[in-house]
Chains A and B, each alone.
Chain A
């Protein structure tokens, strides 16, 4: 037998040597390959989610919300709204006549738009690395759905249908008022004209509508949402991502409510410019808690639930409110590991490499023996799920945690998330509206230190101390 040289010999007889990725602190073999290092690998092949339903049944609402959620938990997702393609193509919308089933020209254009959208779907899932595409259109005929399933099969995508069925005239009317009136299609109409036209539009679809059927579609994977979540029919969920999607869809609702996010009052460690730890409130922090109580009393919020973390400073803040509250360990601040209770200046002094890496990719950077923003998001997912179920909630949390929650509600990317501004002593009121979220920022007038550190210009590991500390906020 040949004499293998040293290195080969080693590879033959020993498992691969591991190195720890300096940014994420993940252990990987030298010649990295097949491992999935995040959570469970959600999908083997990409998934195509297809909405089904008459107009004004909440398909776009669901599409956008689902897309936002999946992206937040780290599954690259994109929605493709066929209406947008049609608007691109048609430029000017005249009336509902376009949607009449006997309008040959209209039918042709609509079919082309659907094809064009599917092409983009293919591009996104097969070429651009997307994992989930949401195909948002009425898809009300079995024929159209058949075409889509064929397309998916040819490209190796799994298909999951999300059908929304609703006959409640009030819900439909509200839908139309909330999202259709502001739609580009109805820019130049009065409200009454728009509503009338839209109702006619719905009628165009009604005659040919073939809802997903228990028997005829028994082999298809789908969820049928009835009456805005009063009832669900779930058929043939085949994998993890579909299971998560079903769980999410079953937890969301459209009852009007507001979510209030704020941080604990200023803490003793905040004043000293130190991160993490478990200190109590400073006197200004206590003042904030009092003001918070007045603010809540003024707002007269119905059935407000209050959540805190299990760290002293949020609990002390909640204590001043004089009402019951619930503690969640998952709301605890990001664990800074070996850097806990340090000032940025100290981190730069003792761990300049770590400090630079963090600036290079703040979202993925994991503190040694601590967490990353990415870890935080995973930790906060059950909180988001419960927030979706709830109505009025006040969450008293921490800077990094609040950034993650805010990013979910405001659909911020992982680049933006770690730099969202969440100052102390400021309450953010989030109210879902149309397809998004209205934000009101209320500063309660109690001074505090600034704990926000912007990304410095120089993120190079060789940078000077001065460059590294360029953006550190002032402290004692």
Chain B
């Protein structure tokens, strides 16, 4: 079983479409992400305005993409703003405003068309339809649409009757919405509350006992105090439910930093389990002061099980928890080597890593993609927790940061996570605020930039690796997922990597496209 050849091909729309139907009818599975989903999934949000639908949509989408399931949000408000260039007042949303109702329905249909394109032709696996969807009529329309296209449907309804929560919602995200350019808080609040009233008139919540008992859904009640879960069909829906049940909206901050500079860092060696250098020890002392200064209540401290993070935590003088899964990426045969040594001893491996740093797996070791899988329980627990300081490693920190800042596989391995710097992440509105604290202790720079020259591979090289097959999953949102594992079937034609090559433009510098054929053993 020496080599796998991936034939490049030009994918025309019709061929990919028929491929999709083929795949659906044969129900073949192969990728890790794919074990979770057979057919594409349409997640449909339900709820009055200011119930956190968009918050949940975006967060869920971020999480699903991070674990490797191509997901995209389709927010109906965006379509509506396209169609109706300027928003005047809540009158638009009155249920007896026929003209507006027509426009709104039209927008929904356009959005659903885009959903269809995304799931059927662009390789998406999950689409999140973010709108109020408060009437049975609308939901029936969506269910029929999904059935026609063989998509599964999962509803996420957010029900909230706590006026404080609603008011806070409006303040945090509606006041700065494009609908309210003047941003006069009081008038925004007033108009928005009237908008909600318009929907209340026709709101038909999911009815688990009769009308909607055969639908798959989760009802999130009062921001996660209670959940009703009905007819979960498969693993990915189960995972989505688990995720939604673990997130919360209480304010908290997550601090990420690396261990202090280590002896191996000084020598430019990868991996290993060395102790802190003198400067690294100094960083630990500064970190202790930093923690004190920030005066965090109930701060939890987590480390890996490698000496350098533990030594760093020891200095803080507070209880900490060791997680093996926070250990640095396993460089396998390249452990404890310098980049120069690797380049000399394993030039093909070295080149391959630069071609696709996210998917590249060290021989006998791990890839960033493996790391993400390994780190998933950490993310889940971070979502549950309050204030946490995670003392970890470069590759690990990049993966965690990518989750919080919604960075894809192309950017993740090149995120800057310098030594002796603490990143403070605070959830804000729909995203995450990042503050960087340089603790002013000198350290070596361990960051290797993206190669300047984009290596455009003429033919995908045959890959021979001691301990693995290329992990099967999608590379990014617009590529088609690979549906087959190694088997008696020829791998489906994969798209040529033009998107891959074109994103290889490192910060602001022109890339020179060169065709290089990569020689491998």
Q: Is the CB of B225 within 8 A of A236?
A: yes
Q: Is the CB of A325 within 8 A of B227?
A: no
A39-B323, A243-B245, A329-B370 known; A319+B227 contact, CB < 8 A:
no
Q: Which of A242-257 contact B (CB under 8 A)?
A: 243, 246-247, 250-251
Q: Is the CB of B235 within 8 A of A389?
A: yes
Q: Which one of A37, A214, A218, A311 lies within 8 Å of B322 (CB-CB)?
A: A37
Q: Is the CB of B226 within 8 A of A233?
A: yes
Contacts of B485 in A (CB 8 A): 324-327
Contacts of B305 in A (CB 8 A): 25-27, 37
A212 to chain B: closest CB distance in Å?
11
Contact with A along B232-274 (1 / 0, CB 8 A): 1011001001100110000000000000000000000000010
Q: Is the CB of B30 within 8 A of A326?
A: yes
Q: Is the CB of A26 within 8 A of B322?
A: yes
Contacts of A40 in B (CB 8 A): 321, 323, 381
How distant is the Cα of A330 from the Cα of B273 in the complex, in angstroms? 23
Contacts of B170 in A (CB 8 A): none
A445 in the interface (beta carbon within 8 A):
no
A243-B246, A243-B384, A325-B487 known; A234+B468 contact, CB < 8 A:
no
Q: Is the CB of A231 within 8 A of B319?
A: no
How distant is the Cα of A287 from the Cα of B166 in the complex, in angstroms? 66
Q: Is the CB of B468 within 8 A of A310?
A: yes
B140 in the interface (beta carbon within 8 A):
no
How distant is the Cα of A386 from the Cα of B324 in the complex, in angstroms? 22
Instruction: In the complex, identify which listed stretch (A28-36, A76-84, A89-97, A141-149) lies at the interface while the others stay far away.
Output: A28-36
Contacts of A240 in B (CB 8 A): 381, 384
Q: Is the CB of A311 within 8 A of B226?
A: no
Q: Is the CB of B1 within 8 A of A315?
A: yes
How distant is the Cα of A233 from the Cα of B227 in the complex, in angstroms? 6
Q: Is the CB of B229 within 8 A of A250?
A: yes
A15-B314, A16-B314, A315-B469 known; A233+B321 contact, CB < 8 A:
no
Contacts of A250 in B (CB 8 A): 229, 232, 238, 241-242
Contact with B along A303-344 (1 / 0, CB 8 A): 000000011100110010011111111100000000000000
Smallest Cβ-Cβ distance to B228: which chain A residue:
A233
B471 in the interface (beta carbon within 8 A):
yes
Q: Is the CB of B469 within 8 A of A310?
A: yes
Contacts of B505 in A (CB 8 A): none
A448 in the interface (beta carbon within 8 A):
no
A232 in the interface (beta carbon within 8 A):
yes
A62 in the interface (beta carbon within 8 A):
no
Q: Is the CB of A236 within 8 A of B226?
A: yes
* Most chain B CB neighbours (cut-off 10 Å) among A27, A214, A251: A27
Q: Is the CB of A15 within 8 A of B284?
A: yes
Contacts of A369 in B (CB 8 A): 273, 335
A18-B310, A26-B305, A40-B321 known; A234+B469 contact, CB < 8 A:
no
How distant is the Cα of A240 from the Cα of B321 in the complex, in angstroms? 15
Q: Which one of B226, B310, B471 lies within 8 Å of A234 (CB-CB)?
A: B226
Q: Is the CB of B307 within 8 A of A18?
A: yes
How distant is the Cα of A250 from the Cα of B230 in the complex, in angstroms? 10
How distant is the Cα of A326 from the Cα of B29 in the complex, in angstroms? 7
Q: Which one of B234, B322, B471, B486 lies within 8 Å of A319 (CB-CB)?
A: B486
Contacts of A236 in B (CB 8 A): 225-226
Contacts of A319 in B (CB 8 A): 1, 486-488
B88 in the interface (beta carbon within 8 A):
no
Contact with B along A370-391 (1 / 0, CB 8 A): 0000010010000000100100
Contact with A along B305-331 (1 / 0, CB 8 A): 111001100110001111111000000
B425 to chain A: closest CB distance in Å?
19
A414 in the interface (beta carbon within 8 A):
no
Contact with B along A262-297 (1 / 0, CB 8 A): 000000000000000010100000000000000000
A41 in the interface (beta carbon within 8 A):
yes
B35 in the interface (beta carbon within 8 A):
yes
Contact with A along B9-42 (1 / 0, CB 8 A): 0000000000000000000111010010000000
B491 in the interface (beta carbon within 8 A):
no
How distant is the Cα of A237 from the Cα of B241 in the complex, in angstroms? 13
A458 in the interface (beta carbon within 8 A):
no
Q: Is the CB of A232 within 8 A of B228?
A: yes
B484 in the interface (beta carbon within 8 A):
yes
A35-B320, A319-B486 known; A251+B238 contact, CB < 8 A:
yes
A235 in the interface (beta carbon within 8 A):
yes
A302 in the interface (beta carbon within 8 A):
no
B92 to chain A: closest CB distance in Å?
36
Contact with A along B446-472 (1 / 0, CB 8 A): 000000000000000000001111011
Contacts of B310 in A (CB 8 A): 18, 27
A246 to chain B: closest CB distance in Å?
7
A340 to chain B: closest CB distance in Å?
8
Q: Is the CB of B208 within 8 A of A231?
A: yes
B358 to chain A: closest CB distance in Å?
15
What are 29 sample pairs from A and B whose C-beta atoms fall under 8 A apart?
A: A20-B307, A26-B305, A27-B311, A35-B320, A36-B319, A39-B323, A214-B226, A230-B230, A233-B228, A234-B229, A235-B225, A235-B227, A247-B238, A250-B238, A250-B242, A278-B467, A311-B467, A319-B487, A319-B488, A323-B487, A324-B28, A325-B485, A325-B487, A326-B35, A329-B32, A329-B370, A329-B468, A329-B471, A330-B373
Using a CB–CB cutoff of 8 Å, the interface residues on chain B facing chain A are 1, 28-30, 32, 35, 208, 225-232, 234-235, 238, 241-242, 245-246, 273, 275, 281, 284, 305-307, 310-311, 314-315, 319-325, 335, 364, 370, 373, 377, 381, 384, 466-469, 471-472, 484-489
Q: Besides the contacts A26-B305, A250-B241, what 7 more A-B pairs have beta carbons closer than 8 Å?
A: A18-B307, A27-B311, A231-B228, A231-B230, A326-B485, A330-B373, A389-B235
